[in-house]
Amino acid sequence: MTKHPTRRDLLDAALRLFARDGYDATSTRAIAAEAETNISSIAYHFGGKEGLRLACADAVAQVIGQVARALPAGPAALDRLAARRILRRLVRRIVTFLTVTPAASGIVGFLLRELAQPDSPVLDRLYDTLVAPRHAALCRLWAAATGAAPDSEDTRLAVFALIGQVAYFRLAAPIVQRRMGWDGYARREARAISRRLIVNLDAMLAAADG
Amino acid sequence: MTKHPTRRDLLDAALRLFARDGYDATSTRAIAAEAETNISSIAYHFGGKEGLRLACADAVAQVIGQVARALPAGPAALDRLAARRILRRLVRRIVTFLTVTPAASGIVGFLLRELAQPDSPVLDRLYDTLVAPRHAALCRLWAAATGAAPDSEDTRLAVFALIGQVAYFRLAAPIVQRRMGWDGYARREARAISRRLIVNLDAMLAAADG
DNA sequence: GTCTATAAACAGATAGAC
DNA sequence: GTCTATCTGTTTATAGAC
């Protein structure tokens, strides 16, 4: 055995299996086998299956944070055109990440499964450190791009709708790919999705101009 | 005990629990308890846990079929305005169903969990009887409303994007409601979501007019 | 740090009384 | 049809050798 089973291997394996099959459907035996180590190493490194789940949540939050780093953090004033440019870049960036990045399937699959579960023990952590600040930043960007109030109900809903149409392509990937006749997501498919979502974004922005 | 435990009770309980916690995380004991009957009645009525899952899939397909019944089945020619009217009605109808119908949470939750699982044994059935024909009908409607080709790649993607932004509000309901400061979805919330999604739909349609 | 072996709880399925 | 009781396999966690 030339390769040492490590903490990192377990984390990668767990993220992949949690995303594909769900937390409960994934046994620690399967994770250990995928990581090519033994079961008890999970308890050693993470304290147990639940600890591994929380570690996955932290890893996911970190990666998503990187992808969304194009978002301006502060409430700096942006003119309309600059804000719209950033929004378009973000949509393209997120679609590319969701489709062609190899680890994206696991990361987003894990995230969406946890978010769909109202009483998930990792939801609080993910919401406070990831969802709330990023969504607020997107709302400020949307407000700058459209002239709407950043805290208005409609602004927040518009941002959720924007996120929703992007996220759906990863969430419902099996049926999307089947219906499109695609074997998976690669560069060409990412471009086709990106193009349509940018059209939609521009249409929503144009509608805001009255 | 005035109420007889029945097949229907088991189906309702299973749908609710499968949607909330996922298939694997739901034990037959929990289903039986929720239905106020005993475990072995699952085997009696459905042959086992997997049979109950398939029965849930059939029930879901039937209800969704009812909600989408406003969709024209045939390839009858529609003028632009009529097609757009139907599209708007559908969006409102689906949002209302997703938010205020009590059973919607269970039905959609179950559906989305199954669709997210590439190798789910019920995916094939749901895809053939529900997803593919409804998506195709929506594509024809979209084509009639915009002048695009009903089978073009972009038309199919546009329809998925449209579905995605609606579905997201049910899928990510926990974070949406937390961020919006909502206690749940009721009439007022459904109207707010509907209003934004109709704005987006009209914007997308307007963009198609060049 | 990594392993084997095992404990204690839990799963789904089923036999058989009524 | 509905129930109790139980079988058989699997789960997570852990004790302890190395």
Those nucleotides of strand D lying less than 7 Å from any protein Cβ are 1-5, 10-16
A163-CA/D17-C1' distance, Å: 53
What's the start-to-end Cα distance of chain A, in Å? 66
Residue B71 has, within 13 A of its CA and on its CB side, a CA count of 22
Calculate the alpha carbon distances from B136 to A48, B127, B206 in Å: 46, 12, 22
Average pLDDT rounded to a whole number, residues B147-151:
96
Check CB contact under 8 Å for A204 and B206: no
pLDDT above 90 for B77: no
Could you tell me which chain A residue has the CA closest to the CA of B156?
A180
With b for 16 or more beta-carbon neighbours within 10 A and e for fewer, the A49-72 pattern comes to beebbebbbebbbebbeebbeebe
Average pLDDT rounded to a whole number, residues B26-51:
96
A167-CA/C13-C1' distance, Å: 39
Q: In Å, how far is A191's CA from the nearest CA of chain B?
A: 11
SS (H, E, C) A50-85: HHHHHHHHHHHHHHHHHHHHHCCCCCCCCCHHHHHH
A23-CA/C15-C1' distance, Å: 34
* Tens digit of each residue's pLDDT (9 = 90 or more) over B59-75: 999 998 888 887 776 66
Q: How high is the pLDDT of residue A112? A: 80
B12 neighbors B99 (Cβ within 8 angstroms): no
Q: How high is the pLDDT of residue B119? A: 75
Which ranges of chain A have pLDDT less than 50? 1-3
Query: Which comes out higher in pLDDT, residue B186 or B114?
Result: B186
Check CB contact under 8 Å for A168 and B172: no
B22-CA/D16-C1' distance, Å: 37
Residues of A in contact with B131 (CB under 8 A): 175, 179
Q: Which of A127, A176, A192 sits opposite B178 (nearest CB)?
A: A127
Q: Kindly indicate the confidence band of residue B171, based on its pLDDT and cuts at 50, 70 and 90.
A: confident
A22 neighbors A53 (Cβ within 8 angstroms): no
pLDDT above 70 for B4: no
Could you tell me which chain B residue has the CA closest to the CA of A200?
B204
Cα B82–chain centre separation: 24
Cα A2–chain centre separation: 34
Q: CA-CA distance, B191 to A14, in Å (whole number)?
A: 40
Q: Which of B169, B179, B203 sits opposite A204 (nearest CB)?
A: B203
Check CB contact under 8 Å for A204 and B202: no
- Residues above pLDDT 70, as percent of chain B: 96
Q: How high is the pLDDT of residue A121? A: 78
Q: In Å, how far is B66's CA from the nearest CA of chain A?
A: 21
A11-CA/D16-C1' distance, Å: 26
Q: CA-CA distance, A47 to A44, in Å (whole number)?
A: 6
pLDDT above 70 for B6: yes
Q: CA-CA distance, A11 to A5, in Å (whole number)?
A: 11
- Residues above pLDDT 90, as percent of chain B: 75
Q: Name B194's Cβ contacts closer than 8 Å, sequence gap at least 6.
A: B91, B92, B95, B96
* A47 closest-nt by C1' vs CA: D13
Q: How high is the pLDDT of residue B19? A: 92
- Crossing angle (nearest 10°) for helices B49-67 and B7-21: 90
Which of B41-45, B122-126, B194-198 bottoms out in mean pLDDT, i.e. has the lowest?
Answer: B122-126
Q: In Å, how far is B204's CA from the nearest CA of chain A?
A: 5
Q: How high is the pLDDT of residue B3? A: 46
Please give the mean pLDDT across all residues of chain B: 92
Average pLDDT rounded to a whole number, residues B168-185:
94
Q: Is the CB of B26 under 7 A from strand C?
A: yes
* Tens digit of each residue's pLDDT (9 = 90 or more) over B7-23: 999 999 999 999 999 99
Tokens 């990192």 label which residue?
Answer: A8
Q: How high is the pLDDT of residue A195? A: 98
- The amino acid at residue A181 is G
Q: Kindly indicate the confidence band of residue B5, based on its pLDDT and cuts at 50, 70 and 90.
A: low
Smallest CA-to-CA distance from B59 within B120, B117, B108 is with B108
Q: How high is the pLDDT of residue A3? A: 46
* Tens digit of each residue's pLDDT (9 = 90 or more) over A93-120: 999 999 999 888 889 889 888 887 777 7
Q: How high is the pLDDT of residue A77? A: 75
Q: CA-CA distance, A104 to A114, in Å (whole number)?
A: 15
Q: Which of B112, B157, B175 sits opposite A192 (nearest CB)?
A: B157
B14 neighbors B103 (Cβ within 8 angstroms): no
Q: CA-CA distance, A182 to A187, in Å (whole number)?
A: 12
pLDDT above 80 for B118: no
| Best of A119, A152, A160, A162 to mutate (most B CBs within 10 Å, chain B) | A160
Residue B82 has φ and ψ, to the nearest 5°, of -65, -45
Q: Which of A23, A158, A168 sits opposite B168 (nearest CB)?
A: A168
Cβ < 7 Å from nucleic strand D: A 26-30, 39-40, 42-43, 48-50; B 1, 4-7, 37-41, 44-45
